Amino acid sequence: MKGPDTRDAPASQNFPALLLHHAANQGDRTAIREKDLGIWQSWTWEQVADEVRALACGLAAQGFRRGMNLAIIGDNRPRLYWSFAAAQCLGGVPVPMYQDAVAQEMLYVLDNAEIQYAVVEDQEQVDKLLELLPKYPNLKHIFYDDPRGLRHYTQPQLMPYDRLRELGVEYNRDHPGFFDGAVGTVQPDDVCVMLYTSGTTSKPKGVCLTHAALIAAARGDVAFDGFGPSDEILSYLPMAWVGDHLFSYAQALVAGFTVNCPESSETAMNDLREIGPTYYFAPPRIFENLLTTVMIRMEDASRIKRGLFHYFMAIARRCGAELMDGKPVPLSDRMLYRLGDLLIYAPLRNSLGMSRLRVAYTGGAAIGPDLYRFYRSIGINLKQLYGQTETAAYVCKQPNGEAKLDTVGKPMPGVEVRITGKGEIWVKTPSMLKEYYKRSDASAESISPDGYFMTGDAGFFDKDGHLKIIDRANDVGKLANGALFAPQFIENKLKFYSYVKEAVCFGDRREMVCAFINIDLQAVGNWAEKRNLAYSGYLDLTRRTEVYELILACIEQVNADLARESELASSQVRRFLILHKELDADDDELTRTRKVRRGFVAEKYAPLIDALFSGKTGCHIATEVKFEDGRRGTIEADIKIQDVMASEPGREAA
């Protein structure tokens, strides 16, 4: 059903106003859904506006005032999204936090943001906050949504969401003009959300974004991709991440489309199939997991099905992406593609939950060429984008028909991108951060005098005007012989193989490049089972000679690739080892958005690095690990180190 055209919701300069606009103009359309107790429960825009009013009044009744920060912690839930709006209505700032953060990490943010009020999802989050109370007694109010397990809790700070809502309804009745008055005082320049960066190299910083900034970004995105009220998205990525806030909150309020919250993270892929979103974002690793699952199941299918699959996938590889881009394709291939669509591609899209997808985006990390081509060739319009928390994830996007593999697209309208002499990418845009919270030093460090944000990424524009990212500027180094060493570039190539889950390369100011490898349990486990290799778990798998040979083959291929470019020929990987445990955010080795903390990892595994570069064939290591409940343990292992043959540096590829 096509609703009223709200694409140019006029004069709505802040999010509460946008919400009220939709409640008035398309009050009957579904604004948000949540799968609960097995069925999709939905709320219309009018209902959402009422809920936000009740919640805002409830918070006001409890003493929440303009300028205060509201912590929001949990999975994607309607009530938590409404908390963002409620805080904004009162002129406060919502501060979402990662739901899988351990208590220690949360302490930093609570303290830094001076949180007195928090809206959380369930007992798990309540427990973590209560644990921190002795160290941070300033937390006065904890409102929780799911009461399971909390019946016997007597702490005075706790209050169920339902009670808060009741108080809000009463307050609204007793102060009829209050809510509208409060919304009326919200300015476009007010900070509308504070998102903490994950901090690969240092403590997290609170990025303050204004209503105007996020609305500008959302408006730009909505115009670029033509989003409208009939679009549907699945909201399953952490609310503390700028991407989810942009898609599920900002864009949803600008375009008026429907947000769907899955039942739980385990059911997210299943819920994706049930909803059939029209617009989808996922980091490359999710697209990869989906593909791996499909391929694994395909290997178990009957011979005929496998045969059909491989035959038609070859056709898709040949011309699928070109067809989608509107490029010329011979008639015979066109007919075969049509047939393939009927037999293979459409059912495949259906089982991935992508039948109704108009556009899909990925970003945040590099995506493998095979993976990218796979999705595009079966008719999924997968494109890349680029941005960071400080720029509201709004810098570059690939236009339709220009979805090149190794670029992140062209600068969006209103965005200026400059490449400095050193090759660093600087960005100026109305969607920029206002400042880092209470960190004028960091603000001065990262924002140039003429208003450009220094992204810290190294990149360049190609001949079509697309931006290409090389690596983090600080990580780009030089080998001992002066050759360029861009670790992420090599690591991405390694990670394109489904067997490699994570890779960390070392080589700055060294004679050669060496690598840590994390194997992917699902892919390698499956590979082992197909060869009747019994294994008793992750650690066992990492020790096997056969697995080392498997990874060796992948690395040799990457080396052959690197050898083709003269500047990269010397950064071929010469030695590697397979880590005995996966790098984990709980152990501070990765950020909450799964980026490797290079410095920390280098320190923690220093003995292994020494062994790699001193020619040893093995090394014993004992690593400390942190369990999810905060307890610590140690894992010890003898790790084998393997040499790799380098390929001969060849002529530059055409």
Partner 1 sequence: MADAIKAGGVLLAVENIALAFGGVRALSDVTFEVREGEIRAIIGPNGAGKSSMLNVINGVYHPQQGTVRFRGEIRRSMDPHFAASHGIARTFQNIALFKGMSVLDNIMTGRNLKMHAGLLEQAFYIGRNRREELAHRAKVEEIIDFLQIEHIRKTPVGRLPYGLQKRVELARALAAEPALLLLDEPMAGMNVEEKQDMCRFILDVNDEFSTTIVLIEHDMGVVMDICDRIVVLDYGRKIGDGTPDEIRSNKGVIDAYLGLSH
Tokens of 610: 């020494």
Give whichever of 121 and 263 is closer to partner 1, judged by the CB atom: 263
Residue 128 CB, nearest distance to partner 1 (Å)?
18
Residue 36 CB, nearest distance to partner 1 (Å)?
8
Residue 416 CB, nearest distance to partner 1 (Å)?
46
Residue 151 CB, nearest distance to partner 1 (Å)?
7
CA distance 215 to 250: 6
Give whichever of 190 and 271 is closer to partner 1, judged by the CB atom: 271
Residue 266 CB, nearest distance to partner 1 (Å)?
4
Residue 628 CB, nearest distance to partner 1 (Å)?
12
CA distance 184 to 203: 36
Find out whether 260 and 275 touch, Cβ atoms under 8 Å: yes
Residue 537 CB, nearest distance to partner 1 (Å)?
11
Residue 150 CB, nearest distance to partner 1 (Å)?
11
* Contacts (Cβ under 8 Å, ≥6 apart) of 617: 640, 641
Give whichever of 468 and 626 is closer to partner 1, judged by the CB atom: 626
Give whichever of 39 and 335 is closer to partner 1, judged by the CB atom: 39
In the complex, which residues of this chain contact partner 1 (CB under 8 A)?
Answer: 37-39, 148-149, 151, 263-264, 266-267, 270
Q: In what order do the strands lie in the sheet with 141-144?
A: 93-97, 69-73, 117-120, 141-144, 158-160
Residue 263 CB, nearest distance to partner 1 (Å)?
5
CA distance 250 to 217: 8
| Cα Dmax for the chain | 80
Alpha carbon distance, N-terminus to C-terminus of the chain: 51
Nearest Cα neighbor of 261 from 243, 253, 249, 251 is 249
Give whichever of 35 and 219 is closer to partner 1, judged by the CB atom: 35
Give whichever of 522 and 642 is closer to partner 1, judged by the CB atom: 522
Find out whether 623 and 604 touch, Cβ atoms under 8 Å: yes
Nearest Cα neighbor of 497 from 525, 468, 519, 470 is 519
Nearest Cα neighbor of 87 from 194, 5, 174 is 194
Residue 523 CB, nearest distance to partner 1 (Å)?
20
Give whichever of 151 and 632 is closer to partner 1, judged by the CB atom: 151
Give whichever of 312 and 535 is closer to partner 1, judged by the CB atom: 535
In 105-262, beta strands by DSSP E: 117-120, 141-144, 158-160, 191-196, 206-210, 232-234, 258-261
CA distance 157 to 143: 8
**Sign of CA pseudo-dihedral 393, 396, 399, 402:** negative
Residue 273 CB, nearest distance to partner 1 (Å)?
11
Give whichever of 223 and 625 is closer to partner 1, judged by the CB atom: 625
DSSP secondary structure string for all residues of 86-139: HHHHTT-EEEEE-TT--HHHHHHHHHHTT--EEEE-SHHHHHHHHHHTTT-TT-
Give whichever of 273 and 404 is closer to partner 1, judged by the CB atom: 273
Q: Which amino acid, residue 608?
A: L
DSSP secondary structure string for all residues of 317-374: HHHHHHHHHT----HHHHHHHHHHIIIIIHHHHHHHT-TT-SEEEE-SS---HHHHHH
CA distance 366 to 362: 9
Residue 262 CB, nearest distance to partner 1 (Å)?
10
Give whichever of 416 and 629 is closer to partner 1, judged by the CB atom: 629
Give whichever of 263 and 424 is closer to partner 1, judged by the CB atom: 263
Give whichever of 266 and 450 is closer to partner 1, judged by the CB atom: 266
Find out whether 647 and 572 touch, Cβ atoms under 8 Å: yes
In 412-512, beta strands by DSSP E: 416-419, 424-428, 435-436, 453-461, 467-472, 477-478, 484-485, 500-506
CA distance 401 to 395: 19
Give whichever of 146 and 190 is closer to partner 1, judged by the CB atom: 146
Lookup result for tokens 């486990």: 525
Residue 176 CB, nearest distance to partner 1 (Å)?
37
Residue 37 CB, nearest distance to partner 1 (Å)?
4
Residue 377 CB, nearest distance to partner 1 (Å)?
30
Give whichever of 36 and 610 is closer to partner 1, judged by the CB atom: 36
CA distance 570 to 559: 9
